Amino acid sequence: MTDTKREAPASLEKRAAALEIVLRRKADMPKNFVAEFTEHADDAWITANGAQMVARAWTDPEYRARMLVDGTAAARELGFEFPEHHRNLVVLENTATVHNVIVCTLCSCTAYTIIGAAPDWYKDLDYRARVVRESRTVLREMGLDLPAATEIRVWDTTADTRYMVLPMQPPATIGWPVQKLATIVTQDSMIGVTRLEQVKG
């Protein structure tokens, strides 16, 4: 038997750089495409977009109603766009009796142009596998202990349908201006793994 030594794989950074070179050669991709795309994503696809939608829904019942019917159109009202393959944005309203939580069991898809890039825990296989079967336990482990009477609904993201949770507005914040309300809305609350009720006025 021959003793062959296998080289350790190159770092992720080196592999990404090599892939970029190949893409530039094969697809005539502009030299600065990746850097410019990353900069655009960092600047434009952020949690603050979804937070603005939530804050508007809390203060404008008509916008809230439109958002629950057609999340994509409601996002566009505020100037937010989607990649072509994100055909539908479905907004799920949390209530005192129903709590929604989002997952992507196949990978880590989110409505990233609205709620920002998926956090590491969302990509983790443990979360993706368990939240569907043990949603109450997983949420409790993440710090959200829901009453036994609360119905938990788990929504699995698909290639063309993305979800966003509309969290309940903390009672102490009623009457706040939209801009201030937007500052309390977190990515976790729009995924559904936390609630915002503890925010004080």
φ, ψ for residue 97, nearest 5 deg: -115, -15
Instruction: Please name the amino acid found at residue 189.
Output: S
Token pair for 162: 């993305």
Secondary element (H or E) of residue 39:
helix 33-44
Count CB-CB contacts under 10 A for residue 84.
Answer: 7
User: Which positions are annotated as active-site residues?
Assistant: 104, 107-109
Measured CA to CA, the distance from residue 140 to residue 91 in angstroms comes to: 23
Q: Which of 195, 185, 183, 199 lies closest to 101 in space, CA to CA?
A: 195
φ, ψ for residue 95, nearest 5 deg: -135, 180
Measured CA to CA, the distance from residue 78 to residue 154 in angstroms comes to: 27
Ramachandran quadrant class, 80 (left: phi over 0; alpha: psi -120 to 50; beta: rest):
beta
